[in-house]
Amino acid sequence: MFGKIIGTGSCLPKRRVSNNDLSEFLETNDEWIRERTGIGFRHVLENETPEELAIVAAKNALDAAGMSGEEVDMIVVSTLSSNHMLPSVSCLVQRGIGAEHALCFDLNAACTGFLAAYNTVQAYISMGVIKTGLVIGAEGLSRITEWADRSSCILFGDGAGAAVLREDPSAQFGMIMHADGAKGDALTCEFSYGMENGYPGTVAAVSEEEKRHRTRMQMNGQEVFRFAIRQVPAGIHELLEKEQMEMDSVDWFLLHQANARIIEGAAKRLGAPIEKFPMNLEEYGNTSSASIPILLDEMVREGKIQRGQCLVLAGFGGGLTWGATKVIF
């Protein structure tokens, strides 16, 4: 047996930054950013933390499901940009929502992370280990963005999204997921704080400049673009074939919100109408593993996604990683 989505939630930081705000300290402009990416705004953390966004998103998802935290058996948080390594964000969410019976861990598959977390919870449900799981994508990318690099910083934003899954005899599940670590240098960020702090005498000193460079996201945009435009449609084709589904039977393709041109290119290659590829990146930019659950929550709350509809969720990004997951809502 698999799990069905019975509630969704999301949370965005209050501070909204426009393209024009960026052009105050960067050589860029609204027209270039909109034309090349489709992005108009992004929300960034001010006094909040990614952990707090995750807790609010989780509470909203539980409210939508009509459940309390006590009924949650498992919490998996996907993140690459939280404030904490210990305790895990999922343990902080557990405390925040009173899910005292839940098993908890975080995972990182970059922008494919929400799918990795969703698939993991489905696996636990299908093994009979749990009945109810909470899947969360929560990011504070503004803390690791290189704000001096106009070719990458214009893309990213912060936010969190969540979904509650409950065991259901009618639930269906299918997935594909891949990685190509050999191309990992296309998008990097190190947690290299430890370099100066290891066992005495074992670590080399690093200049402040080098440290800043390593601890901020560095991206080869064109390489990531080429990868995404090829692998996203290929992954969706692979999923449809594996699940013996027709393209027409999919009501919505919820793609990771990285760049409108990537999403439009994927729709074109798949030969599916662009109207089936909703986007909210104009408002939020790329929020990594939070982008798919934020979009899912918005569409559910707007009544666009209806019970019984077939969704394909598709993620791609750092690693490099990519994947596609079938959801019957």
Give the side-chain half-sphere CA count within 13 A for 180.
14
The reply on whether position 289 binds ligand UT7 by CB under 6 A is no
Q: Rounded CA gap, 243 and 173, in Å? A: 9
222 binds ligand UT7 (CB under 6 A): yes
Compare residues 14 and 226 and give the one whose CB is closer to ligand UT7: 226
Catalytic choice (111, 153, 189, 259): 111
- The pattern of x and - marking residues 48 through 87 that bind ligand UT7 according to CB under 6 A reads ----------------------------------------
Tokens of 97: 């929502």
Using rule CB under 6 A, residue 317 touches ligand UT7: yes
> Which of residues 96, 221, 230, 265 is near ligand UT7 by CB under 6 A?
221
List Cα–Cα distances, 207 to 146, 149, 212, 213, 217, in angstroms: 17, 19, 9, 10, 17
Site string for ligand UT7, 230-259 (x = CB under 6 A): ----------------------------xx
Binding status of residue 184 toward ligand UT7 by CB under 6 A: no
Least separation in angstroms between residue 158's CB and ligand UT7 is 14
SS3 30: helix
| Separation in Å, CA 50 to CA 13, 54, 69 | 9, 6, 19
Nearer to ligand UT7, 2 or 114 (CB): 114
108 is catalytic: no
Nearest CA to 329 among 313, 314, 307, 312?
Answer: 307
User: For ligand UT7, which residue has the nearest CB?
Assistant: 221
32 near ligand UT7, judged by CB under 6 A: yes
Reported in sequence order, the residue ranges of the chain that DSSP labels E, i.e. its strands, are 2-11, 15-18, 41-44, 74-78, 103-107, 132-139, 159-168, 173-179, 187-188, 218-219, 252-255, 310-317, 321-328
Active-site annotation, residues: 111, 256, 286
Q: Which residues bind ligand UT7 (CB under 6 A)?
A: 28, 32-33, 36-37, 111, 150-151, 154, 219, 221-222, 224-225, 258-259, 286, 317
